[in-house]
Structure 1
Amino acid sequence: MLKISLFLFAAASYCLAEGEVEPSTEKWHYPGHEFDRTRLGDAVDLASMKLLKEAYTTKDDKNIVASPIGVLLLLSLYAAGAEGGIRDEIIKAVGSSNYDEMFESYTRLSSKFSFMDSSYLTLANKVYVADNMELANDFSTRAVQSYNSEVEKVDFTKPADAVAIINKWADEKTKGHIKDAVTEDVIDDTVVSVLCNVIFFQGHWNVPFNASETVEKDFHVDKSKTVKKQMMHLEQPLFYQESPELGAKMIELPYKENGFRMVVVLPDEIDGLSSVMEKVAQKGLLADVFALSPAGREIHLDLPKFEIKSGLDLNGLLPKIGVSKIFSDPAQGIVKDVPVKVSKAFQKAFVKVDEEGATAGAFTGFVIVPTSLNSQPPPAVQFKVDRPFLFAILHEDILLFAGTYTH
């Protein structure tokens, strides 16, 4: 039997043009939530929050960013070449009731994002296969026609060359944000295929923060430790809600790019993020996102500038959300006439947040190797993000990126 190593790399960067930002001369008129909450959105949301919670629980460094949608897309592609218990686990983990529903949902997502304006969003899939191997016919057809994947032959007996080829593709698709997606220690001459996914988002805040108002303020790492952080400041009538159930309050920052927004979830307590993560892993975040509404007053927002680089060991995380058989049971329909399994899975990610907007990206790869409003408005709402918090980037009701910032 062959084995597949899943290499899932994500990059998210909230940073755009350099230099000072001119202060806004008018309030924006946000058109509201003109998109629907769907069954697929709920499924992606819950699977994403479960994965993020497990990462938050198991990692020592609680600064985390991930693009779970990249993982879910490649799992659904993997299921095209797997049956039985492997496929059943994947169907359940991604929140579908059967294979046809999963296939239709995730191929529709892949197509939708693949054909968006590449100036702000890129989603691309690619399948590399050893030059002495062939993909199974049905798998190849579905990868190309339904997941919009490119297919390329690679000589994996020359690991350095194979690594360079894959990294060049990831670098180009993420506009230079991911340069070392794959390293030679995970590619060797036993590899037979690599399945890859890239998601890259580059957006602009609807109203940028004024860089001249960014100053150092206190950030409470925990109840006993306070540090200084560069805090951005914005005064706008944002969408807002308080959730006693979560023990948190939330605001939404829309992007100029239609349908994209970032949600910040601020726990009520300095040490409240762990509790919030437990709750969203059980019920998802989307219900609270769709409960956001105009605050009816200005929000005085303080949000730290921050940068996160994180790596996730998906060999450990995926079994925690119910996907384990990909690591042990043979999938017969990916490489022609050769059963395969997953040997390694991980994700690399980064995020950088500043005054102007967002750039976010994700590279996901599977490597296959042989194994054996009021006239007199009320006072402004103070929303000081001065403690560990959760953030997410969505397009309409689909969660694209999520993470936690703690220090």
Structure 2
Amino acid sequence: MRSTYCLFIGLLVAMATAENPAPQESTPLADVNSEFALELYKTLHKDHPENIFFSPFSISTCLAMTYLGARNDTAQQMSHVLRFNKLNQTDFHERFHHLLTQLHHSDRPYTLKTANRLFGQNSFEFGQKFLDETSRHYGAQLAPVDFHGNTEGARQTINDWVEEQTENRIQEIMEPGFLSPETVLVLVNTIYFKGSWESPFYTSDTMLNSFHVSPEEDVQVTMMYQDGMFKFGRDENLKCQILEMPYKGKHLSMVVVLPDKIDGLNAIETSLTPELLRRWQNSMVKEDVGILMPKFKLVQDFGLSEKLSEIGMPDLFGTDADLSGMVGSRDLHVIGSRGLHVDALLHKAFVDVNEEGTEAAAATAGDIVLSGPAHEFDADHPFLFFMKDNETNSILFMGRLVRPEGTTTRKDEL
């Protein structure tokens, strides 16, 4: 067995090629989703210097549903960050529908499923066009809940649905107290995958071995080993190896990128582009490879509002948001200038890699709330007040309040 180390850029689930690989053509939607995925990865990496695992597909899908209701500057910012502006807008959502349909195959030797759902305030009138399009393109039906009167009950309903769709792997995507009575809509996407390796690792070859976290630190972890024919490549410019390990049926694969140096990952990460991924994929050939890699299990969650604002879509998460495309004519008049905005975008992901294969799940939820008033008036310190006659504008009474009646405690008595 070779002694080596493994560092992961991520789990790139890709379509496996035939025995004699030909250049792979990705779809325009896959290209723009990859651009967004890599930019978000680099942004998340700033605050997560060690492990990262997430589903860019889940995040893109949830935001694509949100995009159906976005208008004006909000829509333009989302389109730019998500790269939707690079696609033909007349059939953009049809492309997403086609991609979602392509992923579902009940006759294949793995499980891969996605689901979308809208959880909406039962007293709120949503725009019919928005509901029709989220249903037609994303299969997202509206489930009425009562955020106003039973906030915690609505939260539990959403969590239960996410757990069911992800085989209980994503639990408590929304913690107690997360939602508020101001919530109007929660958009949710889930994705779940479970597949066995085409060539499983033998448990008899699994053993403790050193994993080099950095040039200065080693840890002992459970490592798997096997050797066989796998698609393999090298990038001499970036000094790394690329390995593709197919899942049973060879329709899906895990691609692992391993830098030559223990501390060589950063140089690769800064160079990541969809074109580089395609070049790696198309340059690999089948060779005899001895694979040593750790068993691992990760559960990670991210609040994405700040990160997505940072890379170019701040309006969505503040009072400048324009999500008027979600609102029906009655409530568009009622809410007036307050409007809606995404209060938080949550993402939680799970992965388990072992000798048999891989199980992975993720969920993304956007909490859309009624925006607060444009100004806050917090009368929590001394103020003046007047009582006047509005017809004559005469001041009838006037005063100041320094200590409200019944509050006699001084600071020095606390």
2:129 alignment counterpart: 138
Secondary structure in 1 matching 2:46:
helix
- 1:271-329 CA deviation, whole Å, 9 max, x = no partner? 1112211111585523322322223xx10010111122222221122123322221132
Q: Rate the CA distance shift 1:70–1:32 in 2: closer, same or farther, 3 A.
A: farther
Aligned-residue offset at 1:245: 3.2
2:175 alignment counterpart: 183
Is the 1:111–1:147 Cα contact (8 Å) retained in structure 2? no
CA RMSD of aligned residues (A): 2.3
Match for residue 63 of structure 1 among 51, 59, 63:
51
Is the 2:170–2:350 Cα contact (8 Å) retained in structure 1? no
Is the 1:193–1:367 Cα contact (8 Å) retained in structure 2? yes
Is the 1:158–1:188 Cα contact (8 Å) retained in structure 2? no
Tell me if 1:301 matches 2:291: yes
Tell me if 1:234 matches 2:226: yes
2:248 alignment counterpart: 256
Tell me if 1:280 matches 2:278: no
Work out which structure has the larger RCO, using CA pairs closer than 8 Å and 6 or more positions apart in sequence: 1
1:326 alignment counterpart: 316
Match for residue 105 of structure 1 among 75, 95, 113:
95
Q: Rate the CA distance shift 1:225–1:179 in 2: closer, same or farther, 3 A.
A: same
Q: Rate the CA distance shift 1:366–1:359 in 2: closer, same or farther, 3 A.
A: same
Tell me if 1:38 matches 2:30: no
Report the Cα distance in structure 1 between the residues aligned to 2:144 and 2:272, rounded to whole angstroms: 42
Tell me if 1:128 matches 2:119: yes
1:93 alignment counterpart: 81
Q: Which runs of 5+ in 1 are unaligned?
A: 1-11, 14-28, 373-407
Secondary structure in 2 matching 1:169:
helix
1:172 alignment counterpart: 164
Report the Cα distance in structure 2 between the residues aligned to 1:293 and 1:95, rounded to whole angstroms: 32
**Partner AA of 1:349 in structure 2:** A
Aligned-residue offset at 1:59: 2.0
Secondary structure in 2 matching 1:182:
coil
Answer with 110-119 or 51-60: which moved more.
110-119
Is the 1:110–1:148 Cα contact (8 Å) retained in structure 2? no
- 1:129-176 CA deviation, whole Å, 9 max, x = no partner? 001112211110001111111211001121221111111111111111
Structure 1 runs of 4+ aligned residues shifted over 6 Å read none
Match for residue 311 of structure 1 among 301, 313, 316:
301
Query: 1:204-215 alignment to 2 at 5 Å?
Result: 204-215=196-207
Report the Cα distance in structure 2 between the residues aligned to 1:188 and 1:206, rounded to whole angstroms: 47
Secondary structure in 2 matching 1:253:
strand
Aligned-residue offset at 1:206: 0.4
TM-score norm. by structure 2 comes to 0.77
Aligned-residue offset at 1:99: 2.6
Report the Cα distance in structure 2 between the residues aligned to 1:107 and 1:241, rounded to whole angstroms: 34
Q: Rate the CA distance shift 1:359–1:32 in 2: closer, same or farther, 3 A.
A: farther
**Partner AA of 1:142 in structure 2:** E
Match for residue 51 of structure 1 among 36, 40, 44:
40
Aligned length: 343
Secondary structure in 2 matching 1:180:
coil
Is the 2:298–2:352 Cα contact (8 Å) retained in structure 1? yes
Q: Rate the CA distance shift 1:257–1:149 in 2: closer, same or farther, 3 A.
A: farther
Report the Cα distance in structure 1 between the residues aligned to 2:316 and 2:253, rounded to whole angstroms: 34
Q: Rate the CA distance shift 1:47–1:33 in 2: closer, same or farther, 3 A.
A: farther
Report the Cα distance in structure 1 between the residues aligned to 2:73 and 2:278, rounded to whole angstroms: 29
Match for residue 155 of structure 1 among 136, 146, 164:
146
2:355 alignment counterpart: 355
Q: Rate the CA distance shift 1:288–1:332 in 2: closer, same or farther, 3 A.
A: same
Secondary structure in 2 matching 1:280:
coil
Q: Rate the CA distance shift 1:261–1:268 in 2: closer, same or farther, 3 A.
A: same
1:21 alignment counterpart: none
Secondary structure in 1 matching 2:53:
strand
TM-score norm. by structure 1 comes to 0.79
Tell me if 1:81 matches 2:69: yes
Query: 1:187-206 alignment to 2 at 5 Å?
Result: 187-206=179-198
Percent sequence identity over aligned pairs: 27
Structure number with greater Rg is 2
Answer with 221-230 or 360-369: which moved more.
360-369
Is the 2:111–2:195 Cα contact (8 Å) retained in structure 1? yes
Secondary structure in 1 matching 2:98:
helix
Q: Rate the CA distance shift 1:171–1:32 in 2: closer, same or farther, 3 A.
A: farther
Q: Which runs of 5+ in 2 are unaligned?
A: 1-9, 12-16, 373-414
Report the Cα distance in structure 2 between the residues aligned to 1:232 and 1:99, rounded to whole angstroms: 46
- 1:74-112 CA deviation, whole Å, 9 max, x = no partner? 211111111222222222223332433532322222233
Is the 1:42–1:284 Cα contact (8 Å) retained in structure 2? no
